[in-house]
Chains A and B, each alone.
Chain A
Amino acid sequence: MSRVYSFPDPAGRFGPYGGRFVPETLVEPLRELEEAYFRLREDEGFREELNALLRDYAGRPTPLYYASRLTERLGGAKIYLKREDLAFTGAHKINNTLGQALLAKRMGKRRLVAETGAGQHGVATATVAALMGFECTVYMGAEDMERQAINVYRMRLLGAEVRRVEAGSRTLKDAINEALRDWATNVRDTHYLLGSAVGPHPYPLIVRDFQSVIGLEIRRQIMEREGRLPDVVVACVGGGSNAIGTFYPFIEDSEVRLVGVEAGGEGLETERHAASLVRGSPGILHGAYSYVLQDEHGQISATHSVSAGLDYPGVGPEHAYLKESGRAEYVAVEDRDALEAFITLTRLEGIMPALEPAHALAHVMKIAPAMRRDEIILLTLSGRGEKDLEIVRRALGGAF
Chain B
Amino acid sequence: MRGIARAFRESLAKGRAAVIGFLTAGDPRPEYTLRYAEALVEGGVDILELGVPFSDPVADGVTIQASAQRALAAGMRLSDALKLSSEIKRSCQAPIVILSYLNPIFRMGYRRFFEEASSHGVDGVVVPDLPVEESAEFKEMAQSLGLATIFLASPTTSEARLDRVLKASTGFVYLVSLLGVTGVRREVSQEALKLLERVKARRERPYAAVGFGVSAPEHVAMLAKAGAEGVIVGSALVKIVEENLDDLEGCAQRLRSFASSLKGAARF
- Which A residues contact B (CB, under 8 angstroms)? 11, 19-29, 167-168, 173-174, 177, 180-181, 184-188, 283-287, 292, 294, 296-300
Least CB distance from A180 to B in Å reads 5
Taking a contact as CB atoms under 8 Å apart, the answer to whether A23 and B56 are in contact is: no
Q: Report the bound CA distance from A21 to B176 in whole Å.
A: 17
Taking a contact as CB atoms under 8 Å apart, the answer to whether A20 and B134 are in contact is: yes
List which B214-254 residues lie within 8 A (CB) of chain A. none
- Taking a contact as CB atoms closer than 8 A, the residue among B54, B102, B154, B158 that contacts A21 in the complex is B102
Q: Given A21-B134, A181-B61, does the pair A296, B157 have CB atoms closer than 8 Å? A: no
Q: Report the bound CA distance from A186 to B179 in whole Å.
A: 7
* B204 in contact (CB, < 8 A): no
Using Cβ atoms and an 8 Å threshold, which residues of chain B touch A23?
58-59, 128-129, 152, 154, 176
- Taking a contact as CB atoms closer than 8 A, the residue among A27, A168, A184 that contacts B181 in the complex is A184
Taking a contact as CB atoms under 8 Å apart, the answer to whether A298 and B156 are in contact is: no
Using Cβ atoms and an 8 Å threshold, which residues of chain B touch A26?
156
- Taking a contact as CB atoms closer than 8 A, the residue among B107, B131, B154 that contacts A20 in the complex is B131
Q: Report the bound CA distance from A174 to B57 in whole Å.
A: 10
Taking a contact as CB atoms under 8 Å apart, the answer to whether A28 and B157 are in contact is: yes
Q: Given A27-B133, A297-B78, does the pair A173, B155 have CB atoms closer than 8 Å? A: no
Q: 11 more A-B contacts (CB under 8 A) besides A20-B133, A177-B58?
A: A22-B58, A24-B152, A28-B161, A168-B55, A173-B56, A185-B179, A285-B103, A287-B129, A297-B79, A297-B104, A299-B104
Least CB distance from A386 to B in Å reads 31
Q: Given A24-B131, A24-B176, does the pair A300, B102 have CB atoms closer than 8 Å? A: no
Using Cβ atoms and an 8 Å threshold, which residues of chain B touch A173?
56
Q: CB-nearest residue of chain B relative to A301?
A: B55
Q: Report the bound CA distance from A128 to B153 in whole Å.
A: 34
Taking a contact as CB atoms under 8 Å apart, the answer to whether A25 and B176 are in contact is: yes
Q: CB-nearest residue of chain A relative to B180?
A: A185
Taking a contact as CB atoms under 8 Å apart, the answer to whether A298 and B106 are in contact is: yes
Least CB distance from A212 to B in Å reads 27
Taking a contact as CB atoms under 8 Å apart, the answer to whether B158 and A28 are in contact is: yes
Using Cβ atoms and an 8 Å threshold, which residues of chain B touch A21?
102, 129-131, 134
Using Cβ atoms and an 8 Å threshold, which residues of chain A touch B55?
168, 299-300
Taking a contact as CB atoms under 8 Å apart, the answer to whether A285 and B180 are in contact is: no
Using Cβ atoms and an 8 Å threshold, which residues of chain A touch B102?
21, 284
Least CB distance from B34 to A in Å reads 21
Using Cβ atoms and an 8 Å threshold, which residues of chain B touch A186?
179
* B77 in contact (CB, < 8 A): yes
Q: CB-nearest residue of chain A relative to B107?
A: A298
Q: CB-nearest residue of chain B relative to A186?
A: B179
Interface string of B131-146 (1 = CB under 8 A from A): 1011000000000000
Least CB distance from A71 to B in Å reads 43
Q: Report the bound CA distance from A174 to B65 in whole Å.
A: 12
Q: Report the bound CA distance from A286 to B101 in whole Å.
A: 11
Q: Report the bound CA distance from A286 to B155 in whole Å.
A: 21
Taking a contact as CB atoms under 8 Å apart, the answer to whether A299 and B72 are in contact is: yes
Taking a contact as CB atoms under 8 Å apart, the answer to whether B77 and A283 are in contact is: no
- In the A-B complex, the 4 residue pairs with the closest CB atoms: A298-B107, A298-B104, A185-B180, A25-B154
Least CB distance from B186 to A in Å reads 15
Taking a contact as CB atoms under 8 Å apart, the answer to whether B156 and A29 are in contact is: yes
Q: Report the bound CA distance from A322 to B102 in whole Å.
A: 24
Interface string of B114-136 (1 = CB under 8 A from A): 00000000000000111101100
Q: CB-nearest residue of chain A relative to B61?
A: A181
Q: Given A298-B106, A300-B56, does the pair A22, B129 have CB atoms closer than 8 Å? A: yes
* B108 in contact (CB, < 8 A): yes
Taking a contact as CB atoms under 8 Å apart, the answer to whether B107 and A294 are in contact is: yes
Using Cβ atoms and an 8 Å threshold, which residues of chain A touch B65?
167
Q: Report the bound CA distance from A14 to B157 in whole Å.
A: 26
Using Cβ atoms and an 8 Å threshold, which residues of chain B touch A167?
65, 69
Using Cβ atoms and an 8 Å threshold, which residues of chain B touch A296?
107
* B8 in contact (CB, < 8 A): no
Q: Report the bound CA distance from A187 to B178 in whole Å.
A: 11
Using Cβ atoms and an 8 Å threshold, which residues of chain A touch B165?
24
Taking a contact as CB atoms under 8 Å apart, the answer to whether B77 and A299 are in contact is: yes
* B207 in contact (CB, < 8 A): no
A-B contact pairs, 20 of them (CB 8 A): A19-B134, A21-B134, A23-B152, A24-B153, A28-B157, A28-B158, A167-B65, A168-B55, A184-B179, A185-B181, A187-B179, A284-B129, A285-B56, A287-B129, A294-B107, A297-B79, A298-B78, A298-B105, A298-B107, A300-B55
